[in-house]
Amino acid sequence: MTVWRAAVVGWFVFLFAAFCCFAEAAGADGPPAPALPDASDVRVTIGEPVTLMVWNRPIVTLRAQIDALTPQARIERVRRRITELPADARAGEVKAVPGTFGTLHGFWIEVSGRTLLALLPEDVDPDTGDTLDLLARSTVENLREALAARNAQQKLPALVRSALFAVFATAVFALIVWALVRVRNRALERAQRNVRDRPLHVRGLNLRPYLRAIEDSAIKLTALTSGLVLTYVWLTLVLDLFPYTRPWSDGLADWLTDTLATLAAGAVEGLPGLFTVIIIFLATRLIVQAVNRFFSSVERGWLKVHWLEAETARATRRLAIVLIWIFALTVAYPYIPGSHSDAFKGISVFVGLMVSLGSAGFVNQVMSGLVVVYSRSIKPGEFVQVGETLGKVSEIGVLATKILTPTRPGRLVDYQLFAPCGFAVRLDHRHDGDHRLRYALAPGACDAAAGG
C-alpha cells in the first residue's frame, strides 16, 4: 500500500508541474489596471508593499504609489506585460536603463526593448540599507532567472525528460520504502522471538517483555523517522526536476540545511554545559559509591558507629543516596543544554505537577516505612501477623517488608496495612518452639479501637 501511495503522489507531482507550464499566462487575465497618471505633475508616496512573482519566483517588491496607482496596480500591469512577451524572449535581453519621465526618475526594466516596470527611489526598502542601483541589479538578475526557467519548461523534450526522471525517482523511492518496511517487520519478529526464547530474569522478574516494549517503540520510531527523511529527500529531488517547482525544492533544501545547521550550532554551544553535567554525574557517582560502602559496612557489622544502628543502615543508605542524587540534579540543571528554553521549563513544570499529583500515596508509604524502620519495632527473624498474613520477617525495606509464609515465601506487605494503628504487630519465637503473641492485629482492629 505504501509503494502504490508513493507512486500516486509522484504522478500527481508530475501532472502539477506540467500544468504549471501554462498557469502563468492563464493567471494574468483580469481587470485592466489604472492608467498611468500624467507624469508632469504626480505625487509619489509609499504604499502597501507588494512582491512581483514571475514563474513562481520573487522578482522585486514595489512600494512606491504614483498618485492613485497603488503598488498592487503596478504589479498587475507588470504581469500583463510579461505575458505579452514573446515565448522566445531571451533572458540575456533583460536590462535596467536609468532615465527620467516627467518628474519621475529611476530605472526602467526592459526586455527585448519593451519596458516592463519602473523602479523609483521610494521602492527601496529603507530597513535594508540598499540603494536604487542595487535594487535594479537584483531585479534584473531575478527576472533573467525567471525567464530562463519559463523558456526551459516550455520545451517539450526537457519536460518529458524531467517527467521520466521523476517516475524513476518515484520508483526508487517506493523500492526503498518497501525494503524499509520489510526490515522493520523482521526486526519486530526477531524481538518477539527473543521474548519467548531468551528470558532475562533479575531478582525473579523477567525483564524481557518490558525491554521488548522499549525495543518495539525504538524500531517503529526509527522506521518512521527514516521514512519521513526519505519522503522529504524524494520530494525535494522531484520538485527540483521542473523549473516551475524548483523554488519549492530550494525552499525545502534550505529549510533542511538551516535546521541541521541550527541543531549543529546548538550542539556545539551545548558541549561545555554537557561536559559540566558529565563531571557532576561522575563526581556524584564516586560520592554515592563511598556512601554505599560506608552504610553497607555498618549494615553487615564490619563498622560500628554510635549514631547508626545496623537495622537502620539500609534505609539510611537509600535515603542518603536519593538526597545526594537530588542535590546533584539541582546543581546540574542549569548546565543541561536547552534548560533555559521556555519549552524545557514548561515540560519541567508539567512533569513536576504530574509527579506531585501522583506521588501522594507513595510519599505516605515512604513515611510509614521510615517510621517502622527507625522505631525498630520489628527485626528480621521475628514472626509477625498482619491481617491474615502470618510469617517470619526476612527483609525490612522503606516501601514494604518481606514476610516468609508457608504458602508464599516472599510476600511483600504494604506499610499502610502493616502499621495502620501506629504500632507493629509481632510474635516472639521462644526457645522451646512455641510462639508467644506479643501484639496481634486482626482485620478491623483499628476501627474497633477507635470506636471503643
For 192-204, write each residue's pLDDT tens digit: 877 666 666 666 6
Helical pair 156-197 and 132-153, crossing angle rounded to 10 deg: 90
Q: What is the pLDDT of residue 16?
A: 52
Same domain, 180 and 138: no
How many other β-carbons are positioned within 10 Å of the β-carbon of residue 120? 20
One domain, residues 146 and 160: no
pLDDT for 63 equals 92
Confidence at 377, pLDDT banded by 50, 70, 90: low
Do 401 and 331 sit in the same domain of this protein? no
Q: For the chain, how many structural domains are there in total?
A: 4
3-state secondary structure the chain: CHHHHHHHHHHHHHHHHHHCCCHHHHCCCCCCCCCCCCCCCCCEEEEEEEEEEECCEEEEEEEEEECCECHHHHHHHHHHHHHCCCCCCCHHHEEEEEEEECCEEEEEEEECCEEEEEECHHHCCCCCCCCHHHHHHHHHHHHHHHHHHHHHHCCHHHHHHHHHHHHHHHHHHHHHHHHHHHHHHHHHHHHHHHHHHCCCEECCEECHHHHHHHHHHHHHHHHHHHHHHHHHHHHHHHHHCCCCCHHHHHHHHHHHHHHHHHHHHHHHHHHHHHHHHHHHHHHHHHHHHHHHHHHHHHHHCCCCECCECHHHHHHHHHHHHHHHHHHHHHHHHHHCCCCCCHHHHHHHHHHHHHHHHHCHHHHHHHHHHHHHHHHCCCCCCCEEEECCEEEEEEEECCCEEEEECCCCCCEEEEHHHHCCCCCCCCEEECCCCCEEECCCCCCCHHHHHHHC
Q: Please write the tens of the pLDDT for every residue from 118-159.
A: 999 999 988 888 889 999 999 999 998 888 888 888 788 888
Residue 423 has pLDDT above 90, yes or no: no
* Segment 417-445 mean pLDDT: 44
Query: In terms of domains, do 34 and 145 share one?
Result: yes
Residue 258 placed within a domain: no
Q: Of 153, 179, 212, at which residue does a domain stop?
A: 153
Is residue 327 domain-shared with residue 394, that is, in the same domain?
no
Same domain, 144 and 174: no
Position 246, amino acid: R
- Statement: residue 438 has pLDDT above 70: no
Check: CB of residue 299 under 8 Å from CB of residue 316: no
Residue 24 pLDDT > 70: no
What is the amino acid identity at position 193? R
Which residue, among 116, 114, 113, 115, has the nearest Cα to 54 in the 3D structure? 116
Mean pLDDT lowest among 83-97, 163-177, 270-284, 398-412 = 398-412
pLDDT value at residue 168:
95
Domain assignment present for 13: no
Residue 14 included in any domain: no
Q: What is the C-alpha separation between 79 and 143, in angstroms, rounded? A: 12
Residue 342, domain member (yes or no): yes
Entry pTM: 0.60
Residues 195 and 163 in one domain: yes
Identify the pLDDT of residue 279.
95
Residue 440, in any domain of the structure:
yes
Is 331 part of any domain? Answer: yes
Question: Over 70: is that where the pLDDT of 264 sits?
Answer: yes
Examine residue 3 and state whether it is found in any structural domain, yes or no: no
Average pLDDT over residues 105-121: 88
Same domain, 39 and 124: yes
104 vs 414: CA distance, rounded Å: 91
- Out of 108-117, 310-319, 354-363, 417-426, pick the least confident: 417-426
* Distance set, CA 159 to CA 20, 46, 202, 250 (Å): 11, 42, 64, 19
Residue 397 lies in a domain: yes
Instruction: Name the average pLDDT for the chain.
Output: 77
Note whether 53 and 141 are same-domain residues: yes
Boundary-marking domain end, from 194, 225, 244: 244
The reply to whether 148 and 27 lie within a common domain is yes
Closest CA to 115 of 176, 74, 61: 74
Cβ atoms < 10 Å from Cβ of 424: 22
Given a cut of 50, whether residue 221 has pLDDT beyond it is yes
Q: From the CB of residue 173, how many other CB atoms can be counted at a distance below 10 Å?
A: 22
Q: Do residue 341 and residue 388 come from a single domain?
A: no
Q: Which of 433, 53, 417 is nearest to 425 (CA)?
A: 417
Q: Are residues 329 and 284 in the same domain?
A: yes
Q: What is the mean pLDDT of residues 354-380?
A: 71
Task: Kindly report, residue by residue over 305-356, the tens digit of the pLDDT.
Answer: 878 777 778 888 888 998 999 999 999 988 888 888 888 888 888 888 887 7
Domain range for 414 is 377-451
pLDDT at 439 (0 to 100): 41
Identify the domain boundary among 358, 387, 419: 358
Residue 444 has pLDDT above 50, yes or no: no
